[in-house]
Amino acid sequence: MRVEQLDLNAWGDALPSSGFEVFHTPAALSVLDEHASGQLRLYGGFKGEQPIALLPVVLRQQSVGTAMLSPPPAMGVPRLGPVIMSPSPKRRKQERVNREFTKEVLEELEIDSSLSLLRMVCNTAYDDPRPYVWNDLSVEPFFTYTLQLDGANPDDLLSSFSKSLRREIRDAKDIDVVVERVPPLEGARLVYEDAKSRYEEQDEQYRLSWPYVRDLVGALADERRCRVYLARTPDGEYLSGITALYSNDMAYFWQGGTRATYDGTSINSLLHWRIIEDIIDDPPIDSVHAYDLMGANTERLCRYKAKFGAELVPYYLVESTGRSMDVAKRAYSLISH
């Protein structure tokens, strides 16, 4: 296998038709390159001229060493990590591609250096992190909720939700809450300001800047990878909103959904339901067939998200290990915050 660095054009040409997340797209990576602290590097693994593996990494040079991050923190990117595209359906050959690419890319990153720190939150399609364990890195599982919608009938799907969730959706409709899909940049600003205000009310810092969110939404909307949904009162007053992002396979609940009620009724369930209905009947990309609800690692959020009956899907955190790395991570954490 040959591993080389790619530019965004070559990366886009190498990206497969499925099995990657929205932040793997050139449009999203170009915005990260513009706004994230550090240097974006795009690695491709090739067999001859055929791309068979990809990995985006942001390198940050600090006084404590070099941090290699996929994704970079505090940028609202839930997952990134490797994309494996073995040309063979055979398990043995898929594992060999994964194993060889891991070995080669870790050598490129010089991860054996005592001053190097690697941290990756892998995408859900990357289901075999064992090669990183075999290279003395730690692997920890995390989870998300994915609602499969391929061929779903809206009435049957709604019937599968919990009784309380169905009631929330029905009650919000009965009081004439209006949910509409709006121009992305216009709606995203409302969603952003709402989320930022909620953080500030809790004396927490909202890490995303509006210029970053604006540029990301604009770049993804140009490729039909972003939609914004707003909930309003019958008189047109803003209540809540959600910015949803789209890969070729999946819709992602990205920003918003702050807790809101109208006339004593919670209205966010109706927002999610409208997004789900559009995925079934009017997706921005025809191959989108699932909704990633996020929030499966926080007990408080799980109690709500589990009401959708979605599949619990694992993904993996890969990190450097060892006592020196513990010191480096603590020092780096202080710098990054």
CATH number at residue 21: 3.40.630.30
Tokens for 288? 């989108």
Does residue 99 or residue 322 have the better pLDDT? 99
Least confident of 38-42, 94-98, 142-146, 292-296: 292-296
pLDDT at 103: 96
Q: What is the pLDDT of residue 274?
A: 98
Tokens of 110: 């010089």
The yes-or-no verdict on residue 118 having pLDDT over 80 is yes
Instruction: Let me know how long the chain is.
Output: 337
Q: Which residues pair with 337 in a beta bridge?
A: none
Are 23 and 80 found together in one domain? Answer: yes
Q: Do both 222 and 161 map to the same domain?
A: yes
Mean pLDDT, the chain, as a whole number? 93
| Portion of the chain with pLDDT greater than 70, in percent | 94
Q: What is the DSSP string of 258-293?
A: ---EETTEE-HHHHHHHHHHHHHHS-SSTT--EEE-
> Which two structure tokens, joined as six digits, stand for 186?
């216009």
pLDDT of residue 193 exceeding 80, the answer is yes
Whether pLDDT at 334 is above 60: no
- What pLDDT score does 89 carry? 87
The reported pTM is 0.94
- Distance of CA 178 to CAs 28, 193, 239, 250, 269, Å? 30, 20, 10, 25, 13
Once rounded to an integer, what is the mean pLDDT over residues 112-140? 92
Check residue 336 and give its pLDDT: 47
One domain for residues 170 and 284 = yes
Kindly state whether residues 206 and 325 are assigned to the same domain: no
pLDDT greater than 60 at residue 337:
no
Residues 106 and 156 in one domain: no
pLDDT at 248 over 80: yes
Asked whether the bond before 51 is cis by omega within 30 degrees of 0, the reply is: no
The more confident residue out of 175 and 325 is: 175
Instruction: State which residues form the domain around 291.
Output: 146-313
**pLDDT value at 137 more than 60:** yes
pLDDT of residue 333: 53
Query: Model confidence over 20-74: pLDDT tens digits?
Result: 999 999 999 999 999 999 999 999 999 999 999 999 999 998 767 789 999 999 9
240 DSSP β-pair partners: 231
Quick check: bond before 82 cis, omega within 30?
A: no
Q: Are residues 173 and 261 in the same domain?
A: yes
- Beta-bridged to residue 232, according to DSSP, are 178, 238
pLDDT digits (tens, 9 = 90+) for 283-320: 999 999 999 999 899 888 899 999 999 999 999 999 99
User: Would the pLDDT of 245 be above 60?
Assistant: yes
- Residues 200 and 249 grouped into a single domain: yes
The number of folded domains in the chain is 2
Which pLDDT score, from 0 to 100, does residue 331 have?
Answer: 54
d(CA 72, CA 117): 13
Instruction: Check residue 214 and give its pLDDT.
Output: 98
How confident is residue 136, by pLDDT bands cut at 50, 70 and 90?
very high
Same domain, 173 and 309: yes
| 108 plus 228 within the same structural domain | no
Residues 182 and 328 in one domain: no
267-287 pLDDT tens trace: 999 999 999 999 999 999 999
Judgement on whether residues 72 and 172 belong to the same structural domain of the protein: no
